[in-house]
Amino acid sequence: MKKAISLLSVIILIAVLVSGLTLSAGAVPMPEQIGDVNNNDSVDIDDVTLIRRYLVGLETFDVYALSKADYDHDKDVTVLDVTALQRTLAHMDVPESWGGLFLSSSSIHRIYSNYGSGKAMTGIPVTITAEGIDTSPYYPQPDSFFEPIEYFFEIGQGDYIRDESGKIIFDENGSPQYHYDVYAQQDWSEQNNITYTFEEAGNYSLTIKSRNRFGYEDQDHTYLTVVEPFSADQPVITSVITDRGNSLGLLQYDKIQPSRDDESLTVTTLVTGGSGSYEYYFELRNPKETVIQDYSSDNSFTIDKAYLPGWAEYEELKQRENEYVSQKFAEGAYWVEIPHEFEYDADNYDPYDLIVKVRDSEGSETSETVQIAPIYDFDYIG
């Protein structure tokens, strides 16, 4: 997952870059004319001006113009596009850390399982699912941003090699010796899940990879704790899955991390055991207003972004920041240094508790608490 660089938090970079920048008004041919916002078959300083005017609300772009203005291919039009285009026109290098211009990659968006860590049992099939996004350039059709992705799965278990007394054995270089056994492997395919039945309890290592049509890969490692079968006379919550956002700890669902771009967050509860015919109860403890979905047969709970922790504070800060920058641009500033008072930091805000309860037809009930962490300023998430 790639962390987005805020339009307004990076605008200060122009102060450093423009000082040594000499722009030529002559047109510079560009592949596929990316950057040719005014559609005159050339890319020049006029296009830079149009994008700057768009950023301060003095121009409107249609979808086609937006795809051309997104010069760094990060699916957003920001000051980074202006600066990257300026540097190209001046025959200067564009740093690889900027935007998505060089991030032609696949990113694993989220990983989840029908049995979370510590709930997976021996002898019962466990399905592990991964979802990825293609973050490679999408020009000229923005809708093609999400492309088919291939996945690779490996389930294994490793441990230190020990002698008869249980002591770890070291090699001649003083490094501990280690062995790793692969139990299941699913080679590259568009199938985004693997199902495996564990024979023994223990901690297992999961390696999950994704790659896009260009062959760019992303990789995640996580662990799944498998236990011996336990009594399920009463309902047991085996997993809590979100439609968006990232489940921190991946298969350990004790905390969920929504993104600032999430319009809402839907939480789905999976249950086993008991007498069946489950009813579900959800309670989000927002300090300002507790949100409740009373007992019903619906095992999903959708939380509007307005109730997500940190959202209201983020919106207020960004509105104040936009007003500040617009004022500075109106006064003729070419770049603006953003005061620290406008910076959003998720660490400044507390998570909210989400209480999940399940009861079966005989009235047996179980509950768990999941934490919804403050939103993160991501462009694309878990």
Its pTM stands at 0.63
Tell me which residue has tokens 């039009």.
77
Both tokens assigned to 326: 């617009």
Q: pLDDT per residue over 247-266, tens digit each? A: 433 344 455 667 666 678 88
List, in order, residues 6 or more apart from 88 with CB less than 8 Å away: 28, 30, 35, 71, 94
Whether 112 and 359 have beta carbons less than 8 Å apart is answered as no
How is 270-306 classified by DSSP, letter by letter? EEESTTS--EEEEEEE-SS-EEEEEEES--EEEEEGG
Helix H, strand E, coil C: the string for 221-268 is EEEEEEECCCCCCCCEEEEEEECCCEEECCCCCCEEECECCCCEEEEE
Cα–Cα distance for residue pair 264/378, rounded to 1 Å: 15
Cα–Cα distance for residue pair 168/352, rounded to 1 Å: 43
Cα–Cα distance for residue pair 177/198, rounded to 1 Å: 25
Q: pLDDT per residue over 6-25, tens digit each? A: 433 333 333 333 333 333 33
Q: What are the structural domains of the chain?
A: 13-89 (1.10.1330.10), 104-230 (2.60.40.10), 232-310+349-382 (2.60.40.10)
Residues of the chain with pLDDT under 70: 1-33, 74, 91-106, 134-148, 213-214, 244-257, 259-262, 334, 377-382
pLDDT of residue 193: 94
Of 3, 4, 11, nearest in space to 339 by CA: 11
pLDDT of residue 227: 93
Give the three-class secondary structure for 33.
helix
Both tokens assigned to 315: 């919106």
pLDDT of residue 182: 95
